[in-house]
Amino acid sequence: MNAPAPAPATTIGPPLWLLAEITYRCPLHCAFCYNPTDFAATTVELGTEDWLRVLREARAAGSVQCAFSGGEPLARDDLEVLVAEARRLGFYTNLLTSGVGLTEARAAALKAAGLDHIQLSFQDSTRELNDFLSHTRTFDLKQKVAAMIKANGWPMVMNCVIHRLNIDYIENIIDMAVELGAEYLELANSQYYSWALLNRDQLLPSREQIERAERITNERRQRYGDRIRIFFVVPDYYETRPKKCMNGWGSVFLTVTPDGTALPCHTAKMLPGLSFPNVRDMSVREIWYDSEGFNHFRGDDWMQEPCRSCPEKEKDRGGCRCQAYMLAGDAAAADPVCDKSAAHHTVLKAVDRAQGADSHALRAAPLVFRGPAESKRLIAEASEAARS
């Protein structure tokens, strides 16, 4: 692969968004998790001092939004220390959490540290679907956490990943969010990476399901008016043009994974032939402006047809590099969601399989739940396949 010449530094804006994935540890087992399926290979996490340095370097390079994510970020007991430093540096600090592990004491400590916002995800990991839908344990936990969020004066954003198995209950999800007092609700259809890709046949909703969910979402918007703002994100498999993934490669997003690998998006590590720097070895500024990994898909020298001559190439930047790699087998190809892509049929095939009653058989196949044991099994399977 020819390495494109790096774009002149003046055209590259600062890494406005820092996603700090501070741990892969998580009490949940979500079948749609975007963490890499081989996450169990990460055994050593960046320490507190390294994270503090990353925060300082990123802020100096112009980062302003900082999201603490994971895994479950509350699994780290230095979260409060990191938040306090981020806030002191002038970051707007977001905590992306399932709420599991948030006690009154930790909420108070996070408030004192200056945490600006909590995004609470529904603990719908599909294994707990019945519980979730029956409003019992999940509702109790969410109610407790929601009350803490309110009591501390944080704005409340709820996030629920939508998929085939919960989309028909979207009215329950919306009503629950309103009942809990959320100001924003993100109904984000699962995107098919990592664990969700393994489970795609079981998770991709049918067209009919999506249309119904959109209609109900609109009805609920009317009903609740200003009480809640609801965002509904359609799965991109049902589009004919790709999303402008990460707002463009190396344009605003910087992800740092639990082991310190710096990535232009949280799944980019899967791309072959690219090397991504580690914050232990390189400063954030160097990583952002000078590293091969971040410069690789900047500009348009890397583009092939149909992207290269496409009038819409700046609008979507060719879509998602990971999706191109996963579905077309080439990270520099057009995102197969695009109906101009030679591999668009791979998307259509998955969509076809999601329609109608015969998909019942697919749903009977077991879901692969995210977890360390499953991750180790997948790592072993992959190395077995590589040997043969």
Partner 1 sequence: MSETVGVAATARPRVSAKFRLQWEDAQQSWVLLYPEGMVKLNASAGEIMKRCDGSRSVDELVAELERAFEASGLHADVMNFLDMARKQHWIEM
For binding to partner 1 (CB under 8 A), which residues are involved? Answer: 14, 16, 61-62, 64-65, 67, 90, 92, 94, 116-117, 119, 153, 155, 157, 184
- Rounded CA separation 88/335 (Å): 40
CB of 64 to partner 1, least distance (A): 6
Residue with smaller CB distance to partner 1, 153 or 366? 153
Q: Which is nearer to partner 1, 158 or 327 (CB)?
A: 158
Residue whose CB is less far from partner 1, 61 or 170? 61
* Least spacing, CB of residue 227 vs partner 1, in Å: 14
Tell me the closest approach of the beta carbon of residue 185 to partner 1, in angstroms. 12
Report the residue number, 15 or 318, with the smaller CB distance to partner 1: 15
Cβ partners under 8 Å of residue 323, min gap 6: 192, 193, 236, 242, 245, 335, 336, 337
φ/ψ of residue 18, rounded to 5: -110, 120
Cβ-based nearer residue to partner 1, 252 or 282: 252
Beta strands in 15-126 (DSSP E): 17-21, 65-69, 92-97, 117-121
With respect to partner 1, which residue has the nearer C-beta, 155 or 372? 155
CB of 153 to partner 1, least distance (A): 8
Query: Rounded to whole angstroms, how far apart are CA atoms 353 and 351?
Result: 5
* Nearest-approach distance from CB 355 to partner 1, in angstroms: 34
CA-nearest of 69, 47, 41 to 266 is: 69
Q: Angle, nearest 10°, between helix axes 104-113 and 79-89?
A: 20
Residue for token pair 């200056």: 114
* Of 118 and 196, CB closest to partner 1: 118
CB 378 within 8 A of CB 37: yes
Reading the block at residue 47, the tokens are 């320490």
Contact between 356 and 344 under an 8 Å Cβ cutoff? The reply is no
What is d(CA 345, CA 324) in angstroms, rounded to the nearest whole number?
13
Output DSSP code: residue 91.
P
Question: Nearest approach, Cβ of 87 to partner 1 (angstroms)?
Answer: 10
Minimum CB distance to partner 1, residue 93 (Å): 10
Minimum distance from CB of 61 to partner 1 (Å)? 7
Q: How far apart are CA 268 and CA 191, in angstroms?
A: 14
Residue (12 or 129) nearer to partner 1, CB:
12
